Amino acid sequence: MSKERQAAKRDSSIYLWRWPIVVILITLFALVAFINVLRTPGKIIETTGKGAADIVDSLSVAAEKFRRGTITDTFTASIPEFNSDRGGLLELAKVTATETFKSQDELKYDFNWFELSAGTTTTEIRVPVTYRYHLRMRDPWRLDVVNGVCMVYAPEIRPSQPPALHTDKMEKSSDEGWARFNVSEQMDDLEKAITPTIRNYASDDRRIASVRENCRKTVEEFVESWLLREGQLSEGRFRVVKVYFPGEEGFIKPDFSKSRD
């Protein structure tokens, strides 16, 4: 057989088998792809399961930090430590009131058969005073969890001393008796007595009671902001923050052994 006939026969055989070969190759590729698809979900499930477990563990640790018995330590750990009161105060409320200070001094001459009045010297000062109230962050706190309510037993409300005198708005008035010449001296004494007097005013229980609700609101907002930063308020873990101050009904005394003095 000539070489030309042999080549033609070989080409004819290849032509006849080309499609079966193509079908076989496509089938093999499809089979390999199918096997990979069957194996992939197992890997996905394994990987996803591990990731989900890590997330659950992380959430469990976070939740544990905000349970009753641990939330106080979690809160106090977030408060920076201060070596002194400077920078360690949370201002709670501020109120400005115009205070009036008055002094009267009457002079009488007592003779054997009659009494003579030399008159009364009256001095008066009116001045606006700003009272500020705060709590010390390093004082003991106590936080509890009750049915989705964050119970906060806060440190005591303290006056910021001394209160601020607005001397630029100070008003003075005086009335001197007919035989008296001491109005300047009396005015000076009255002005010197203002600072110790308003210090006592600031510490008065009735004045602190008048700003207590404003102070409570400030502490509520402070703790709510902390819970929000920790992702506890936005997730609905806590619905309400309720604040108590020392001396109020329902107040539970914190553990003073944990005070950071």
pLDDT tens by residue, 185-232: 888 899 999 999 999 999 999 999 999 999 999 999 999 999 988 888
Write out pLDDT tens, residues 189-201: 999 999 999 999 9
pLDDT of residue 158 exceeding 80:
yes
Instruction: State the pLDDT at residue 166.
Output: 96
- Taking the C-alpha atoms of residue 218 and residue 212, their distance in angstroms, rounded to an integer, is 10
| Band of pLDDT at residue 7, cut at 50, 70 and 90 | very low
What's this model's pTM, rounded to 2 decimal places?
Answer: 0.68
Selection from 35, 89, 72, 202 nearest residue 150 by Cα: 72
Average of per-residue pLDDT values in the chain: 76
